[in-house]
Amino acid sequence: MKKVNGEPNKALKLSMFESMLLIRRFEQRLLELRDQKIARGGVAVSIGQEGIAVGACSAIRREDYITSGHRGHGHALAKGADPVKLLMEFLGRRGGYCHGRGGTMHVCAPEVGLMGTNGIVGAGIPIAVGLGLAAKRTASDRVAVSFFGDGATNTGAFHEALNMASAWKLPVIFICENNLYAISTKISHSTGNDQLWRRGEALGVYSARIDGNAVMDVYEAVRDAACRARAGAGPSFLECMTYRWEGWAWKDRDLGLHYRTMGEILHWQENCPIARLRETLYSEGDLDEEREREIAARIEGQLDNALRLALSSPEPDLADIERDVYA
């Protein structure tokens, strides 16, 4: 990446701005589609958390691997998956990445290194260790990034995976999106030490807590972690502080006000990752209203087109219902 005065350049920031906006609008539209009963399934959105997906995926290469959890639409889009094929998948259509077999929690796009989002909390973390192991064994300089929430850090899979990656110095970057709640359970109720990054440190993994809503901070931390990983220095664990604006998923359309307050939600909405980057771009003279309108219009056009194509994609072929159980 070219740098200007030690900072990644304007084009990178603009592209991250557009990518975050695409994720936000994609997911807002997906929620509308669910409310209209056009989309079904979990539909766990990452609105408010886009800075982590975009900062991280902008700092790695197309051929690098990622795995994700149930809140993975943003990671897929940030890694470069096609919004059309994603939307087709999320609407259960034949043209989707997985031909309508996986849906919103289980999407895979190997062509861009997305090796699966995952419906089981924590399960994608050891899979990323294996992707990193393969990279090391084949002497490629790929890295594997695993995205997961704070809830996943209480699973055995998390601890086993970080420990193994540490023992074998694997090129894996573990990214925890700490949005403070596992469904309704507040982090202070689920652990005696909410400094989650220290769990990585305890296992000998380079670990840090960063502001997940500062997309440039995420970008730089992941860029450095990827450099270390490619140099053979082993894994990193980044605890990225963030907040989900919407409810947890399908049964939580009331914003989760039975376990958190409107005041808390509004506080975090003022700390929006997109608004913060927008402010930087405006203050540095890299964005103005006209340019912003162009970007927004481009995204809406892209999503209009995606929805039109998705709705015109046929339902999965019943003749294929037993295909691909085995290779």
Partner 1 sequence: MTRMTYRQALRQALLEEMMRDERVFLMGQDIAVEGGMWEVTKGLLDLVGPDRILDTPISETAILGAALGAAMAGLRPIVEIMYNDFLPAGMDQLVNQIAKSRYMFGGQISVPMVIRAPCGYGFGLAAAHSQSLEAWFAHLPGLYVVMPATPASAKSLLKSSIRNGNPIVFIEHCLLYNEEGEVPEDQTFVPPLGKASELRSGRDLTLVAWSLMTSRCMEAADTLDAQGVSAAVIDLQTIAPLDIQTIAKSVRQTGRLAIAQQACERFGVGAEIMAQLAEMVGGMLAPPIRIAGKNIPIPFAEVLEQHAIPSVKDIVDASMRLVKGGAGK
Helix/strand/coil for 45: coil
- Residue 46 or 118 having the CB closest to partner 1: 118
- Residue 138 or 188 having the CB closest to partner 1: 138
Order the strands of the 65-67 sheet from edge to edge. Answer: 65-67, 144-149, 172-178, 236-241, 206-211
From 12-20, 49-57, 164-172, 235-243, span contacting partner 1 (CB under 8 A): 164-172
Q: Is 101 in the site for partner 1 (CB under 8 A)?
A: yes
Q: Is 45 in the site for partner 1 (CB under 8 A)?
A: no
Q: How do strand 236-241 and strand 206-211 relate by DSSP bridges?
A: parallel
Give the integer Cα–Cα distance in Å for 305 and 308.
Answer: 5
Task: Calculate the CA dihedral of residues 232, 237, 238, 239 and round it to 10 degrees.
Answer: 180
- Residue 75 or 209 having the CB closest to partner 1: 75
Query: Which of 194, 126, 115 lies closest to 159, judged by CA?
Result: 126
Site for partner 1 in 65-84 (CB under 8 A): 65, 67
From 74-82, 102-110, 224-232, 306-314, span contacting partner 1 (CB under 8 A): 102-110
Radius of gyration over every alpha carbon of the chain, rounded to an integer in angstroms: 19
Site for partner 1 in 122-141 (CB under 8 A): 123, 125-135, 137-138
Rounded least distance, CB 168 to partner 1, Å: 8
Phi, psi of 176, rounded to the nearest 5 degrees:
-95, 125
Of 144, 196, 214, 241, the one binding partner 1 (CB under 8 A) is: 144
Query: Which of 102, 95, 99, 56 lies closest to 75, judged by CA?
Result: 56
- Residue 168 or 259 having the CB closest to partner 1: 168
Site for partner 1 in 305-324 (CB under 8 A): 323-324
Q: How far apart are the first and last CA of the chain?
A: 40
Give the integer Cα–Cα distance in Å for 38 and 87.
Answer: 11
Q: Is 235 in the site for partner 1 (CB under 8 A)?
A: no
Q: Is 182 in the site for partner 1 (CB under 8 A)?
A: no
Catalog residues that contact partner 1 under the rule CB under 8 A: 65, 67, 96-102, 106-110, 115-116, 118-120, 123, 125-135, 137-138, 144, 156-157, 160-161, 163-164, 167-168, 323-327
